[in-house]
């Protein structure tokens, strides 16, 4: 089997919830040994939230090992239970860090201080450690100990203010977007840069990734627009200042969709040529020269009527057919897909084999997100499904920390390994 890029690298994953574990997941997928530090005394709440696996009778399974949310982002990791609220637990944490290449956490500085995991402390036991800290507001500053997750980051970074429809309250993006994309992506990139630096110099270093500053990167032109023009960009619904029509348009219902059967297609015309192609695709070439819609400026001036017109065309077609019809004419268009589409109905994702199916001892066979990118010679893989809570405590204690079975038994009795 081909050697993966991170084989021989060990990650001490002291993170929880989304942003930290998802970053660590990338390293596990491409060959690193990722040791996930957990404790029932401060359980990762993702282990307790839906979706849960189902029993044969249709009821939900219970326990810390059946959350699809948690399992999807922790495949291929080792789980060791370690109570960092105890002095002995902190000592064992240091033993794991001493034998690791990367340390990762997204706890607040207050918790880091409590557990004695500051960079100046852990570098004493491992000067080569690459220590990545990703608290919401950073290690220093008046808000350093503020709590929050993706649902808090979208408002405080300005994303929610620009998300929604005019005249309505901010609505956000409907998911903890920063946790899944921006923050783990930046964290992974920063660790890769630090690994390259260490390969050249032999030196580890501190990585500080305040999630608030990481997320501000995706505001696009909003800050520049205010700086240059004094304009505060606000909610514009699905409309765009550089395209018309631009939005989601109603299509024929689809009885095969689980839950709501309504279907939509997103269309974006960025030029007069794309608008002409759209009109011809729907058999309405005369609308391309209608004075209300002939130019970009006129389409923006009559956007309500424009959207009503396009809706009248799309609502008599299947969403998939509209997408194909327009894509064949090089007009950007795509079905507004559901999770059912993504997993079972999208022929493109199905052919590419994006989702990976793994057999978990408590949830059974389940779909996991595959790698977000492909390497031709060293493709990533999930070595095994997400670990049960504390599944590898004995292995980590014996093989990495170097404890004897009797020492492990004593630590279990003392409440250190819980």
In the Cβ-directed half-sphere of 213, how many Cα atoms lie within 13 Å?
13
Q: 272: closest CA among 309, 300, 249?
A: 300
Question: Distance between CA atoms of 125 and 117, rounded to whole angstroms?
Answer: 11
Question: Distance between CA atoms of 30 and 308, rounded to whole angstroms?
Answer: 48
Q: 265: closest CA among 307, 318, 305, 308?
A: 318
* Degrees to nearest 5, angle at CA 178 with 129 and 143: 70
| CA-CA-CA-CA torsion sign (400, 401, 407, 410) | negative
Q: How far is CA 212 from CA 136, 188, 189, in A?
A: 6, 16, 17
Q: 213: closest CA among 115, 135, 308, 266?
A: 135
Q: Round to the nearest angstrom and report the end-to-end CA distance of the chain.
A: 36
Structure tokens at 180: 């899944």
CB 104 within 8 A of CB 24: yes
CB 284 within 8 A of CB 353: no
- Judge whether 179 counts as a catalytic residue: yes
Name the active-site residue from 13, 57, 179, 253: 179
In the Cβ-directed half-sphere of 176, how many Cα atoms lie within 13 Å?
16
Structure tokens at 225: 């627009």
CB atoms within 10 A of CB 291: 8
Question: Distance between CA atoms of 370 and 380, rounded to whole angstroms?
Answer: 8
Q: Which residue has the tokens 């607040």?
A: 108
Q: What's 342's DSSP letter?
A: I
Please list the residues that pair with 78 across neighbouring strands.
35
Question: Distance between CA atoms of 173 and 320, rounded to whole angstroms?
Answer: 24
3-state DSSP assignment of residue 25: helix
Q: Which residues are catalytic?
A: 179
């Amino acid at each position: 089997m081909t050697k993966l890029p991170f084989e021989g690298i060990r990650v001490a994953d002291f993170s929880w919830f989304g942003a930290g574990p998802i970053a660590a997941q990338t390293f596990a997928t491409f060959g690193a040994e990722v040791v996930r530090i957990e404790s029932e005394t401060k359980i990762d709440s993702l282990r307790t939230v839906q979706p849960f696996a189902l029993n044969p009778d249709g009821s939900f399974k219970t326990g810390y090992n059946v959350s699809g949310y948690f399992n999807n982002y922790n495949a291929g990791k080792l789980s060791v239970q370690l109570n960092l609220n105890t002095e002995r637990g902190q000592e064992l944490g240091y033993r794991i860090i001493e034998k690791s290449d990367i340390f990762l956490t997204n706890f607040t500085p207050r918790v880091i201080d409590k557990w004695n995991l500051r960079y100046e402390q852990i570098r004493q036991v491992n000067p080569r450690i690459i220590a990545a800290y990703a608290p919401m507001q950073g290690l220093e500053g008046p808000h350093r100990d503020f709590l929050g997750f993706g649902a808090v980051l979208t408002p405080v970074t300005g994303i929610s203010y620009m998300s929604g429809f005019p005249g309505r309250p901010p609505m956000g993006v409907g998911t903890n977007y920063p946790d899944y994309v921006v923050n783990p992506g930046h964290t992974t990139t920063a660790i890769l840069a630090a690994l390259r630096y260490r390969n050249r110099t032999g030196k580890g270093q501190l990585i500080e990734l305040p999630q608030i500053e990481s997320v501000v990167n995706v505001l696009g032109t909003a800050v520049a627009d205010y700086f240059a023009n004094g304009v505060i960009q606000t909610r514009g619904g699905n409309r765009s200042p550089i395209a018309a029509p631009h939005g989601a348009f109603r299509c024929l219902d689809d009885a095969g969709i689980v839950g709501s059967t309504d279907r939509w297609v997103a269309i974006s015309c960025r030029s007069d040529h794309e608008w002409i192609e759209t009109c011809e695709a729907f058999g309405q070439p005369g609308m391309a020269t209608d004075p209300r819609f002939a130019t970009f400026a006129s389409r923006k001036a009559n956007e309500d009527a424009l959207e009503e017109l396009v809706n009248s065309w799309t609502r008599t077609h299947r969403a998939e057919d509209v997408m194909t019809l327009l894509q064949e004419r090089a007009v950007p268009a795509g079905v507004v897909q559901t999770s059912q589409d993504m997993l079972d109905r999208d022929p493109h994702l199905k052919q590419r084999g994006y989702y990976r199916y793994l057999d978990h001892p408590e949830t059974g066979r389940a779909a996991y997100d595959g790698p977000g990118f492909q390497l031709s010679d060293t493709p990533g893989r999930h070595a095994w499904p997400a670990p049960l809570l504390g599944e590898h405590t004995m292995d980590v204690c014996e093989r990495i920390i170097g404890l004897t079975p009797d020492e492990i038994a004593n630590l279990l009795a003392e409440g250190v390994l819980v």
